[in-house]
């Protein structure tokens, strides 16, 4: 914003002709103001980033000048000639309106001359030392205003009642005071549940200590921060991309087997779309906003918008329900606070498997919810998490619980161990029931993996209907499920789990199907590189990922590095192995050394990986030819 401020003896102006199309008509009579502070104001493109702060700072400058010169009135006069980098007309007009509101709030007398009109004017400057001033208002990037949903603000105010629910459905109230839990539940055999409860009830997401998985993701050359992008947008190296791809394929296959139809939708949506605006204010997340021409768009934070817009155009009969739509969003975007960002745990751009089910009514929705609960359990168990690795949180309104206690008890029975309950007196969001499977990491922070919600608002908001038995249009109930949670967060959870195992004296590892390198062959000398390559090709025919450490290092050092790389099977290959066809195999998980035949090794791996997708290694197979990504 640029402003030329003149203490005038008088200002006369008269609108003559429209300078912009679609601008409203005004009275063309001449107006005159005496003893006025005339503010020739020009909005610039940089103002678009933070209109609120620009207006606040501009009004402060105007008020200070008014107090200096003792003028009777402020005249805001739009004057585009002060800059060659003008804001878009709708922004400039908005700035003027906001200036008026702020001046009115401060009870300052003002008048704003018409925007978008050519005007003849005459001004007489009083001519004292303070009568003329030029101000340029800039707001730094760090001051940029966040667009925060009403739901996020409501979430900070919402009153939660916390309980531990036993598998039989008994509810035991708990409270937190100075980081300590009080209540009648005995956490003696449920240490992780206790950590989870403390974390959830404190409602603090700020990261004060660097999570251990960040060093691990770098050491294993999986992922790293990308300094050329916005915070929370990571780069993935070949090993990390391979693991991500495998997880994406696995979850997608499971969801399609469950009966979902896979679709694809845009990354961005108009912020002026009525349904989108209403939904944005119901979803507790900060948004990325981008501009294209004169229009503003938000980057999706889930697959909801694309699937809802698609469902709006579908012809649906009650006989078709439930209908299931699925998309693996690469990427979803949430503009988390910088203090909350933490490696793979909490990002601003992430990969979210998102499957919605459109159900006829609440009974059908609860039946589908149960099925998806089991789907999510199966997926995270098959990925590599045991039941003791995650905790359940169920969140609902008091009304839903009072009407559907048996359904909550059913979920608890399926879970089979105590869970955290969060109950709300009233509904602040679009859902009436939500669950999450959460992992607790080495820093005692909890993060959600699988989740599902019963949404009773968005079908009406997006105009999604189906034709019922009575031939009338009705709005379905929508279920929102991510059966694994964000793919990046799954990798975080696997790394944190591996660290905790290592801390407890066990061997850190990836599940065999996810290991970038399942077998490493270490030739004892250059003479055995060629036969090692032949052996590698035979393993590859069975969809096994193999590489060869042909570097000029000692065998022991190469074995040690293979262990640090979490390679599942290590084969040292020399004269004896070449002649006998029996291979000495170091098994990373158990630290055993076994003599195994080629067929036995293949069976060992394929028995453990046959239910999972396979992707070949994209790195050079010879370590001597392999670049170092993290120095």
User: Can you give the C-alpha Rg of the chain in angstroms?
Assistant: 32
- pTM value? 0.76
Q: What is the pLDDT of residues 205-259, one digit of tens each?
A: 666 778 999 999 999 999 999 989 988 899 999 999 999 999 999 999 999 999 9
> Into how many domains does the chain fold?
3
The enclosing domain of 57 has a CATH number of: 3.50.80.10
**Cβ–Cβ < 8 Å for 149, 283:** yes
**Cα separation, 223 vs 109, whole angstroms:** 58
Shared domain for 316 and 385, answered yes or no, is: yes
The pLDDT of residue 140 is: 60
Shared domain for 419 and 305, answered yes or no, is: yes
Shared domain for 465 and 422, answered yes or no, is: yes
Q: Which helix (H) or strand (E) holds 342?
A: none
Q: What is the pLDDT of residues 275-302, one digit of tens each?
A: 766 666 666 567 888 888 878 888 998 8
**Cα separation, 589 vs 566, whole angstroms:** 9
Q: How many percent of the chain have pLDDT more than 90?
A: 74
**Cβ–Cβ < 8 Å for 97, 131:** no
The enclosing domain of 383 has a CATH number of: 3.30.930.10
Domain end point (choices 91, 118, 143): 143
- For residues 350-357, give the mean pLDDT: 97
Handedness of CA 246, 252, 253, 255 (dihedral sign): positive
Strands 132-136 and 2-18 come out as antiparallel
Q: Which domain holds residue 491?
A: 159-208+244-266+300-495
Residue 289 lies in a domain: no
The pLDDT of residue 13 is: 93
- In three-state secondary structure terms, 540 is helix
Residue 33 lies in a domain: yes
Q: What is the pLDDT of residues 297-332, one digit of tens each?
A: 889 988 999 999 999 999 999 999 999 999 999 899
Task: Return the closest-CA partner of residue 39 out of 9, 10, 77.
Answer: 77
The enclosing domain of 542 has a CATH number of: 3.40.50.800
Shared domain for 407 and 549, answered yes or no, is: no
Q: Which residues contact 458 (CB under 8 A, 6 or more apart)?
A: 275, 279, 304, 308, 430, 464, 478
Handedness of CA 227, 228, 234, 236 (dihedral sign): negative
Residue 505 lies in a domain: no
Shared domain for 52 and 98, answered yes or no, is: yes
Q: Which residues contact 378 (CB under 8 A, 6 or more apart)?
A: 254
């Amino acid at each position: 914003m640029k402003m030329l401020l003149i203490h005038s003896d008088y200002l006369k102006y008269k609108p003559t002709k429209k300078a912009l199309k679609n601008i409203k008509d005004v009275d063309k009579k001449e107006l005159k103001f005496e003893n006025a502070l005339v503010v020739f104001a020009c909005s610039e493109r940089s103002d678009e980033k933070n209109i609120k702060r620009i207006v606040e700072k501009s009004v402060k400058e105007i008020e200070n000048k008014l107090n200096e010169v003792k003028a009777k009135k402020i005249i805001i006069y739009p004057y585009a000639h002060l800059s060659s980098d003008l804001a878009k007309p709708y922004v400039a007009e908005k700035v003027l309106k906001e200036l008026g509101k702020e001046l009115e709030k401060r009870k300052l007398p003002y008048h704003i001359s018409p925007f978008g009109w050519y005007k003849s004017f005459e001004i007489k400057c009083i001519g004292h030392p303070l009568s003329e001033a030029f101000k340029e208002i800039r707001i730094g990037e760090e001051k940029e205003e966040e667009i925060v949903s009403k739901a996020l603000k409501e979430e900070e105010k919402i009153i939660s009642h916390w309980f531990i629910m036993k598998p039989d459905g008994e509810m035991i109230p708990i409270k937190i005071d100075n980081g300590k839990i009080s209540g009648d539940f005995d956490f003696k055999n449920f240490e992780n549940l206790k950590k989870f409860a403390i974390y959830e009830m404190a409602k603090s997401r700020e990261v004060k200590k660097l999570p251990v998985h960040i060093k691990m993701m770098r050491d294993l050359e999986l992922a790293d921060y990308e300094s050329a992008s916005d915070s929370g947008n990571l780069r993935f190296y070949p090993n990390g991309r391979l693991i991500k791809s495998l997880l994406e394929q696995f979850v997608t296959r499971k969801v399609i087997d469950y009966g979902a139809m896979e679709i694809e939708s845009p990354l961005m949506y108009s912020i002026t779309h009525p349904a989108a605006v209403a939904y944005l204010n119901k979803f507790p997340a900060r948004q990325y906003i981008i501009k294209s021409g004169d229009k503003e768009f938000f980057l999706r934070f889930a697959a909801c918008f694309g699937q809802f817009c698609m469902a709006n155009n579908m012809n649906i009969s009650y006989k078709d329900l439930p209908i299931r739509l699925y998309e693996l969003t690469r990427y979803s975007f949430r503009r988390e606070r910088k203090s909350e960002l933490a490696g793979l745990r909490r990002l601003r751009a992430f990969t979210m498997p998102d499957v919605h089910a459109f159900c006829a009514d609440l009974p059908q929705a609860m039946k589908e919810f149960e099925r998806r609960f089991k789907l999510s359990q199966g997926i995270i168990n098959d990925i590599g998490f045991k039941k003791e690795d995650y905790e359940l949180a169920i969140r609902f309104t008091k009304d839903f619980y009072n009407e559907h206690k048996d359904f909550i008890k059913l979920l608890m029975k399926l879970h089979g161990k105590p869970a955290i309950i969060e109950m709300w007196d009233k509904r602040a969001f679009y859902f009436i029931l939500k669950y999450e499977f959460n992992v607790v990491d080495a820093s005692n922070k909890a993060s959600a993996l699988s989740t599902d919600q019963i949404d009773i608002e968005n079908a009406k908001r997006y105009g999604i209907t189906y034709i019922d038995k009575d031939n009338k249009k009705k709005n379905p109930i929508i279920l929102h499920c991510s059966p694994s949670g964000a793919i990046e967060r799954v990798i975080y959870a696997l790394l944190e789990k591996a660290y905790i195992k290592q801390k407890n004296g066990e061997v850190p590892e990836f599940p065999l199907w996810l290991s970038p390198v399942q077998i490493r062959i270490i030739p004892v000398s250059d003479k055995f590189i060629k036969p090692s390559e032949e052996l590698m090709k035979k393993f590859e025919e069975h969809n096994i990922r193999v590489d060869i450490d042909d570097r000029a290092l000692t065998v022991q050092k190469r074995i040690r590095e293979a262990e640090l790389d979490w390679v599942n099977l290590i084969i040292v290959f020399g004269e004896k192995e070449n002649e006998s066809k029996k291979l000495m195999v170091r098994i990373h998980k158990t630290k055993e050394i076994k003599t195994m035949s080629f067929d036995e090794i293949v069976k060992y791996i394929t028995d453990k990986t046959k239910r999972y997708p396979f992707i070949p290694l994209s790195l050079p197979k010879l370590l001597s030819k392999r670049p170092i990504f993290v120095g």
